[in-house]
Amino acid sequence: MTGRVSLAAVPFLSARPLTYGIEHGLAEDHFDLVYDSPEGCAGRVSRGEAQLALLPSVRYRHLALDRGLDLRVVPHLAAVVHDALPPEVDGEYDLGALVGGVLGGVDAWRERTGLPFVSLLWVGRNGAVGLEVANQLAHSLRQGLAHLRDIATAFAQVHGGDPAHHERLLAHCLGYGLGSEELSGLDAFFDHLHLAEAPSSRSPVPARIRLFDFAFALGSEKPEPVPAAGTKGAMPGVDALLSDAAAGKRLSPAECIRLYESAPLLDLGRAADERRRFLHPRNRVTYIIDRNVNYTNLCLTACKFCNFFRPAKSKEAYTLSREVLAQKFSETVAMGGIQILLQGGVNPQLRLDYYEDLFRWTKANFPLALHALSPEEVSFIAKQEGLPIREVLERLIAAGLDSLPGGGAEILDDEIRHRISPLKCNTETWIEVMREAHGLGLRTTATLVFGFGETAGHITRHLERLRALQDQTAGFTAFICWPFQAEGTRLRLGDDTTAQRYLRVFSLARLYLDNFPNLQVSWPTMGPAIGQVALRFGGNDFGSAMIEENVVSQAGAVFKLSAEDIERRVRAAGFVPRQRNMRYELLPIRGGAISVRHDGAGRGAAHPILAGA
Amino acid sequence: MAFLEIKDKVRAGEPLGFEDGVALFQHPNLLDLGQLANEVRERMHGQRTYFNRNMHINATNVCVASCRFCSFARLKPGDLGAYTLSLEEAWGRLRARVQAKDPITEIHIVNGLHDGLPFSYYTELLAGLKRICPTVHLKAFTAVEIFFFHQHYGMPVEEVLTRLRAAGLDSLPGGGAEIFAPRVRRKLCADKSDAAEWLDVHRTAHQMGLRSNCTMLYGHIETIEERVEHLLRLRALQDETGGFQTFIPLAFHADGNAMQRLAPPTGVEDLRTFAVSRLLLHNIPHLKAYWVMLGLKTAQTAQWFGADDLDGTVQEERIYHMAGAETPQHLGVPDIVHLIEQAGRVPVERDTLYNVLAEGSDLVSSKPFRRSLPQVAGALS
């Protein structure tokens, strides 16, 4: 390390284990440490007086949003509140100011989101410190965790209070770490604060944690070297690429193509599994209970790969009536479903007000989240109404839209799109709808359908578009891919859609999409066996215990699984199943049906974070 | 036993022990197992994946045994769904294939234990098939049937085998082994031959120069220890005789039998069983992923978890389909070749004794893709 490093830290009890080693002689020639208030610490970092400051997470958000600084966070080192703090010491943590008034305290937060609440972060400007400083800080924390009693005693001498009480607090209510769940917790916290602000005064995108660039060198074990087998020896570079990608190094498009074409299946799978373990270290696999409702099958887009749509003149064209929808929605609630995945054809008889009415009616009558309308539908409504996409989304959000499904992406490459779905929105429009949606605070998924004769280059370009947008917006929650289902469609199956190819594309996506938190397996198309196996090829989500599905089942894929069956399969693969909502927040574990409060007031209504706000 | 130590043993070519087997079944990382099994598989067979052109004949489903896992057997003649093919009917199935110029090389014959047929029914069945097609290989009668013939017709096992062989028998299939543990057999199949009897029939057959296969029915009430013990008993007999060609793990299917409450094994468990079998059974050359049972997707994936065989074209499989298998009853050679090629392996058409009949580019794949593959809904499961 060259030169001295100035550190600032808030003087709270929870900060002390992080600073203990530094205060007790660790690299004393290198660090200057001052304690200051949250405002003081924030000021020191933004003025450049401190290279790093140990700050409340909410201050990080202020700095990142208000001052537009390129701030970064040190990975793995953060204070996390696990349990409720007694009121007499709550103030020490700034929690009253942080969360108390809005969220109803840490217990309520845990119950609503299932995610940890991260209170303190080491924050600095991009490039301010390197890996060596982070290692010293990690060492400081390790020493602190070994001296909790000393910390408690020293703290009581200066600030008063019962040392035994302080020690209990340190040992039982607080934790230290910043892994993927903590990062998801911060995302959820920032989303919450974002949505609580008036639309006119809030920033276009919610704040996000950005880690120092050395982040990925820490904490992930390299996979065991794999002995050369078969033809592998003839492909130098693949092993190195895979172990780097498994450790979190970003793959370039050229490297992606190389891996797609040359990496052996199980080597790809292992690297993806390694990466999944780093991102989801608690071995959880999530799933959701929702219902896929296709409100209309009348569609002008007429994609060649679709066996679901009917042209306007067809006798089989339908638009579901309110009575039918009410029936389906009530059944969904009765079966424990928390969401409707609402997608249809592109039906010119339905205008924006149809959707607004439908969403308001849904929200007024059912405790269900609306994961509705793919980019193709949104862009069609915008075109039909002559309105900007943003305005359409704003009106739909006001009517109750919660999130967008990522369907209709197929292959995001206009060469392929023009061949298989010439009338569908092009790549640019699909991306644009997602960008606008993320900007308005909607979370969305992203999909890929392969088997249209696309090359490794097409697949890579698709993944690259998604990754680039995610870098800008961080709005995608999950990625899902599946093979084209050909039965009854006008497109001949002219490509490989076997399990082998699915597992290749899937594990490669886990490695390439390093900024996507979740990868969902596609059991409805691949069958439960391969769906489950894909959990060992990078997947961490089993998708939906679907109460209904009409599109791929029309083209030959007919599998059904109940929540119990999903849980059994998840356990048999060595994971712990948990139910989630669309935002991948864990739902409390409970025996009966899931109930989500709603007040019919629009977008936030069924959102568990806001439900009690 | 740590995985790394087991890996060293495997690489050094040392046989694994009972505890190693248990540790492998419990090892959390499926892909560790897969890679190690794949190493062994590629050492033994390189990139080859074998298949053959075969047909099944199940001549009768009348059966005196009352195995609780079976959806095929009808206990008495005259029971609803019970059938026994006349010799002419059975022969007719082969004639139809010959007339269709379908170059099958093997007939797989497995039946219920019918107590009302003369022994000559079986010898004539075989002899008649050979008359129609002298080159076809007859892989017929599980050890359980052979042992039943011995008891029912009052002949030593060796004599049963000798007379069947004189009529045309070429080898024995591997069925009926289920799980050897007496605890499990008492509960599942108390009234058919036990482990020692099953192994004895194979020992006798091997000593007479007949080859055979072996199986394990997993995923019901057996423990991991019972699975490992089963595999090690097969391995011990193989050390003695060298007569087993192929091991076929069979996943328990529950529809329509007395054990419907049991959930079937999942994909991860199937692949794990393949990998562990490959590692424990170092002396049995082939490991077959029977696609009728596994589904095409899992059978294809198993080619990276130790398996080197997919079985064959399989015309008219009945036993697994009556237990709810959703696979098609038949695959064309181009479909099989395609499936193997897409798994990144080299397809090899073999005969029953693993002589290579055609390899790689000699075989025509179904490219461009034929629409016939998903004939049955869920066929690609």
Q: How many CA atoms lie within 13 A of A195 on its CB side?
A: 24
**Per-residue CA distances from A142 to A177, A211, B5 (Å):** 11, 21, 32
Q: Compute the average pLDDT of residues A164-172.
A: 82
A121 in any annotated domain? yes
A309 in any annotated domain? yes
Q: What pLDDT is attached to residue B316? A: 66
C-alpha–C-alpha distance, residues A114 and B255, integer Å: 39
A254 in any annotated domain? no
A117 in any annotated domain? yes
Instruction: Say whether both A602 and A483 belong to one domain.
Output: yes
Determine whether the interchain pair A495/B369 forms a contact, defined as Cβ–Cβ distance below 8 Å.
yes
Determine whether the interchain pair A529/B267 forms a contact, defined as Cβ–Cβ distance below 8 Å.
yes
A239 in any annotated domain? no
| Mean pLDDT taken over chain B | 89
A–B: how many Cβ contacts below 8 A? 117
* CB contact burial A332-362 (16+ within 10 A = b; e otherwise): bbebbbbbbbbbbbbbeebebeebbebbebb
Q: What is the CATH number of the domain that holds A451?
A: 3.20.20.70
Show residues of chain A in contact with B39, CB under 8 Å: 227, 229
Neighbours of B79 (CB within 10 A): 12
Instruction: Say whether both A406 and A332 belong to one domain.
Output: yes
A599 in any annotated domain? yes
Instruction: Say whether both A391 and A483 belong to one domain.
Output: yes
* Range of lowest pLDDT (A56-60, A110-114, B22-26): A110-114
Residue with tokens 């007939």: B107
C-alpha–C-alpha distance, residues A254 and A257, integer Å: 5
A433 in any annotated domain? yes
Instruction: Say whether both A176 and A289 belong to one domain.
Output: no
Task: Give the total residue count for chain A.
Answer: 613
Instruction: Say whether both A181 and A302 belong to one domain.
Output: no
What are A607's two structure tokens?
A: 């959102």
- pLDDT per residue as tens digits for the range A271-302: 999 999 999 988 999 999 999 999 999 888 88
Read off the DSSP letter of residue A93.
Answer: G
Q: What is the CATH number of the domain that holds A141?
A: 3.40.190.10
Q: What pLDDT is attached to residue A143? A: 86
What are B278's two structure tokens?
A: 């490959």
Please tell me which of the candidates A273, A486, A530 has its beta carbon nearest to residue B267.
A530
pLDDT of residue B149 exceeding 90 = yes
Show the domain range for A497.
279-607
Instruction: Say whether both A339 and A443 belong to one domain.
Output: yes
A269 in any annotated domain? no
pLDDT of residue B371 exceeding 90 = no
Residue with tokens 């215990």: A545
Three state DSSP letters for A272-283:
HHHHHHHHCCCC
Instruction: Say whether both A21 and A113 belong to one domain.
Output: yes
Of A189, A217, A245, which residue constitutes the final position of a domain? Answer: A217
- pLDDT per residue as tens digits for the range A349-379: 999 999 999 999 999 999 999 999 999 999 9
- pLDDT per residue as tens digits for the range A414-439: 888 988 888 888 999 999 999 999 99
- pLDDT category, A220, cuts 50, 70, 90? very low
Q: What pLDDT is attached to residue A558? A: 57
In DSSP notation, A523-551 reads: HHHHHHHHHHHGGGGT--EEEE--S---S
- pLDDT category, A6, cuts 50, 70, 90? very high
The answer to whether residues B251 and B270 touch, using CB atoms and an 8 Å cutoff, is yes
Q: What pLDDT is attached to residue A537? A: 97
Smallest CA–CA distance from B304 into chain A, residue: A266
**Per-residue CA distances from A274 to A72, A255, A473 (Å):** 25, 18, 26
Instruction: Say whether both A177 and A283 belong to one domain.
Output: no
Q: How many domains does chain A have?
A: 2
The answer to whether residues B136 and B130 touch, using CB atoms and an 8 Å cutoff, is yes
Q: Give alpha helix (H) positions in A30-179.
A: 38-47, 57-66, 87-90, 95, 101-103, 105-113, 131-145, 148-159, 163-168
* CB contact burial B288-299 (16+ within 10 A = b; e otherwise): bbbbbbbbbbbb
Strand blocks (E) in A369-520: 369-372, 403-404, 443-450, 476-483, 518-520
User: What domains can you pick out in chain B, each with its CATH number?
Assistant: 26-362 (3.20.20.70)
Of A195, A217, A239, which residue constitutes the final position of a domain? Answer: A217
C-alpha–C-alpha distance, residues A515 and A316, integer Å: 42
Smallest CA–CA distance from B306 into chain A, residue: A266
Neighbours of A176 (CB within 10 A): 20
Show residues of chain A in contact with B378, CB under 8 Å: 527, 557-559
Determine whether the interchain pair A501/B342 forms a contact, defined as Cβ–Cβ distance below 8 Å.
yes
Determine whether the interchain pair A500/B374 forms a contact, defined as Cβ–Cβ distance below 8 Å.
no
pTM over 0.95: no
Q: What pLDDT is attached to residue A111? A: 67
Residue with tokens 């309105």: A387
Instruction: Say whether both A294 and A212 belong to one domain.
Output: no
Instruction: Say whether both A213 and A283 belong to one domain.
Output: no
Burial class of B367 by CB neighbour count within 10 A (0 to 12, 13 to 18, 19+): middle
Instruction: Say whether both A572 and A448 belong to one domain.
Output: yes
Determine whether the interchain pair B38/A503 forms a contact, defined as Cβ–Cβ distance below 8 Å.
no
- Look at A488 and A152; give whichever has higher pLDDT: A152
Instruction: Say whether both A191 and A285 belong to one domain.
Output: no
Residue with tokens 């900024």: A515
